Amino acid sequence: MKDNTNDTICAISTPPGMGGIGIVRVSGPDAVGVACRLMPDIASKVGGNSQSHYIIYGHVVNQSDGRVLDEALLTVMRAPRTYTREDVAEINCHGGPAAVRAVLSAAMAAGARLAEPGEFTRRAYLNGRIDLTQAEAVMDLIASRTELSLAAAAGQLGGGLRGRVEGLRERIAGLLALVELSIDFSEEDVEVAPAAALLEKSAGIRADLDGLIASYGQGRVLREGLRVAIVGRPNVGKSSLLNLLARDDRAIVTDVPGTTRDTVEETINIGGLPVVVIDTAGIRHSEDVVEKEGIRRSVKALENSDLALLVLDGATELTAEDTALIDKIRGRACVPVINKSDLPGLLDDGQLRELLGDAVPVHICAKSGEGLDALVARIRESALGGGMERPPDVAINLRHKDALSRAASALGSFDAGVAGGHSPELLALELRDALDAVGDVVGATTPDDVLNRIFGEFCIGK
């Protein structure tokens, strides 16, 4: 998409389906003109440019024959105090699919162009109201399914990440100024910036960069959910555990070993944290083609997970299948779950402790829900670190992580150059690379294809 903010765009901003109200949003230099043609009975009530943020009641008419399509409320918001920083007109009509579509078509007939996905937010970014991290936060906020994800997105929208990144840019620019000063004085015998001072400043910047980069793990969990695979041999109660966590009869539970054949995924809100729980087929040796494929998927789900819940049946002795699985999981993040605590325990504690090492098991009864709170606490702890109730101050996404890593690596080359006695000209180049990379996070100099990718993922009307 080529950026052209001279035209006026329109889109339906409310979700498809039926609702009390549907909103058609119009933005651009002719937004109010479009609204006046769309709703001729309000034209005389619309004020001049100096009047802004008011609502008028009227009727939307078909542009070709003047037939009334719907009654609506028009909100007039004049630039620059609007979402896009352009004139914005919002038509609140009735929220039926035919009603909003009719109003949208009429807006197009009245002179507006249909907006691309994310185009309103793209204009907010192009017009300098928000930076790229805040534009991304808009989509994160809309996509948030849980409280912690929402809080993290709201923090980013409020400029939390922007502030941190701008701070880093200033410090790198300060370091660059120092190095450039020594270029100017290189003919004279003054040492403007001793190597030790440069390295100290650079180390401070890198520490902050590393701190931001490290927040990616939490950012990913807050955006995409923690992937938790429930694994174990057949009949230990994996599907029962999924149903308990999901508070729903999601997966089939029977006393026949090998009931679950395919993986079953469910996104669950665990204490404000999005968690994708995956129930898997019981892992054992099998000659059955279908079961074998199911087991292959179980292993894949385990490998793609952030955390494994290894379910063991507390009412039977450990089997060779259990110990083989414990071996397989060693080295992965895992919470051992000993199920069926309502039945007499038959597991050998000593043997189990030896096999599990540091991983302390949680005892539960998937039938009654006993022990669930302790298990949930362990899952949260594994996602966010011990006892964390609040979302992190910043939680970056993959694009931010890539850019910040490029900056860290450019600073690494700078350090090596300082240590190796490189000329200030060469050192300045490394710092400019670092500055550009950090600038990419906030979208200081972001190429069109990157913007297209980011805004292309937005919903229409935002």
233 vs 378 by CB, closer to Mg ion: 233
207 vs 256 by CB, closer to Mg ion: 256
CA proximity to 298, closest of 231, 212, 398, 354: 231
Size, binding site for Mg ion by CB under 5 A? 4
Q: Is 320 exposed, middle or buried (0-12, 13-18, 19+ CB in 10 A)?
A: exposed
30 CB-side CA count, 13 A:
15
Amino acid at 289: V
The CB-of-336 to ligand GTP minimum distance in angstroms stands at 14
The CB-of-260 to Mg ion minimum distance in angstroms stands at 3
123 vs 233 by CB, closer to ligand GTP: 233
The CB-of-219 to ligand GTP minimum distance in angstroms stands at 32
Task: Give how far the C-alpha of residue 442 lies from the chain's centroid of Cα atoms, to the nearest Å.
Answer: 16
Task: Give how far the C-alpha of residue 393 lies from the chain's centroid of Cα atoms, to the nearest Å.
Answer: 14
The CB-of-288 to ligand GTP minimum distance in angstroms stands at 12
226 vs 337 by CB, closer to ligand GTP: 337
Binding site for ligand GTP (CB under 6 A): 232, 234-240, 253-255, 257-260, 281-282, 339-340, 342-343, 365-367
User: 9-26 burial string, b = 16+ CB within 10 Å, else e?
Assistant: bbbbbbeeeeeeebbbbb
* Residue 255's binding partner out of ligand GTP, Mg ion, none, with CB under 5 to 8 Å set by partner kind: ligand GTP
The CB-of-320 to ligand GTP minimum distance in angstroms stands at 16
214 vs 343 by CB, closer to ligand GTP: 343
* Residue 235's binding partner out of Mg ion, ligand GTP, none, with CB under 5 to 8 Å set by partner kind: ligand GTP
* Residue 366's binding partner out of Mg ion, ligand GTP, none, with CB under 5 to 8 Å set by partner kind: ligand GTP
The CB-of-344 to ligand GTP minimum distance in angstroms stands at 10
H or E segment and range at residue 92? strand 88-95
Q: Based on DSSP, count helices (H) and strands (E) in the chain, helices before strands.
A: 16, 12
22 vs 336 by CB, closer to ligand GTP: 336
155 vs 314 by CB, closer to ligand GTP: 314
191 vs 342 by CB, closer to ligand GTP: 342
Contact between 141 and 36 under an 8 Å Cβ cutoff? The reply is no
d(CA 193, CA 48): 58
Binding positions for Mg ion, 222-251, rule CB under 5 A:
238-239
The CB-of-245 to ligand GTP minimum distance in angstroms stands at 12
Contact between 258 and 281 under an 8 Å Cβ cutoff? The reply is yes
Q: In angstroms, how far apart are the furthest CA atoms of the chain?
A: 86
**Backbone phi and psi for residue 128, each to the nearest 5 degrees, phi listed first:** 80, 10
Q: How is residue 286 written in tokens? A: 């099998």
Kindly state whether residue 27 participates in binding Mg ion, applying the rule CB under 5 A.
no
Kindly state whether residue 260 participates in binding Mg ion, applying the rule CB under 5 A.
yes
The CB-of-229 to Mg ion minimum distance in angstroms stands at 13
Q: Which residue is nearest to ligand GTP (CB)?
A: 282
Bridging pattern class, strands 334-339 and 307-313: parallel
Kindly state whether residue 280 participates in binding Mg ion, applying the rule CB under 5 A.
no
* String of contacts with Mg ion for each residue 142-161, x by CB under 5 A: --------------------
| CA-based torsion, 415, 418, 420, 423: positive or negative | positive
User: Which residues of the chain form contacts with Mg ion (CB under 5 A)?
Assistant: 238-239, 259-260
